[in-house]
Amino acid sequence: MPDIEVLVNDFVAKLSKRKVEGSQATARLTAELLRSVVSLQRLPPINPAAVLIEAVRGIGVKLIAANPVELAVGNIVRRVLHIIREEDLSLLASKTGDLDLSAASDDEGTIDHDCDPIQSAAAAAAKSFLRSPSLHALLENMPDKALPSNIYTSSSGGDSEEKSKADKLARTRKLKHDVIEAINILIEDIDTCHELIAEQAVEHIHQNEVILTLGSSRTALEFLCAAKEKKRSFRVVVAEGAPRYQGHALAKELVGRGLQATVVTDSAIFAMISRVNMVIVGVHAMMANGGVIAPVGMNMVALAAQKHAVPFVVVAGIHKLCPSYPHNPEVCLNDMRSPAELLEFGQFSNCMDFGMDSRAPLVQVVNPGFDYVSAELVSLLITDIGGHNPSYMYRLISDYYSADDFDLQGRQRK
What integer pLDDT is reported at residue 410 of this predicted model? 64
Residues of the chain with CATH 3.40.50.10470: 205-347+363-400
Within the chain, all domains assigned CATH 1.20.120.420 are found at 1-97+166-192
Query: How much is the pLDDT for 132?
Result: 43
- Given this model, what pLDDT does residue 215 score? 85
Helices and strands counted in the chain (H then E) = 14, 10
**Is-contact 11 63, C-beta < 8 A?**
yes
Q: CA-CA distance, 95 to 82, in Å (whole number)?
A: 20
Q: Could you tell me if 215 and 241 are in contact, meaning their C-beta atoms sit under 8 angstroms apart?
A: yes
Bridge partner residues of 285 (DSSP): 293
Instruction: Report how far residue 116's alpha carbon sits from residue 33's, in angstroms, rounded to the nearest whole number.
Output: 55
| CATH architecture of the domain with residue range 205-347+363-400 | 3-Layer(aba) Sandwich (3.40)
Show the CA angle centred on residue 193, arms to residues 245 and 82, nearest 5°: 115
Rounded-to-integer distance, Cα 366 and Cα 350, Å: 18
Q: Which pLDDT value is given to residue 365?
A: 83
Q: What is the DSSP secondary-structure string of 84-153?
A: HHHHHHHHHHHHHHHHHHHHHHHHHHTTTSPPPHHHHHHHHHHHHHHH---HHHHHHTS-SSPPPTTSSS
- The model's pTM is 0.81
Stretches where the chain sits below pLDDT 70 are 1, 97-159, 345-361, 410-414
* Contact in structure between 385 and 392 (CB atoms under 8 Å): no
pLDDT at residue 300 in the model: 96
3-state secondary structure 137-182: HHHHCCCCCCCCCCCCCCCCHHHHHHHHHHHHHHHHHHHHHHHHHH
Quote the pLDDT of residue 123: 44
Q: What CATH fold (topology level) applies to the domain 1-97+166-192?
A: Four Helix Bundle (Hemerythrin (Met), subunit A) (1.20.120)
Angle formed at CA 225 by CA 221 and CA 231, multiple of 5 degrees:
160
**Most distant CA pair in the chain, distance:** 102
Quote the distance between the C-alpha of residue 67 and its chain's center: 16
CA atoms of 211 and 310, how far apart (whole Å) = 10
Question: What's the pLDDT score for residue 2?
Answer: 72
* Angle at alpha carbon of residue 214, lines to 209 and 215, rounded to 5°: 135
345 contacts: CB under 8 Å, gap ≥ 6: 339, 352
Q: Which of 411, 148, 378, 157 is CA-nearest to residue 280?
A: 378
3-state class (DSSP) for residue 370:
strand
Q: How far apart are the first and last CA of the chain?
A: 33
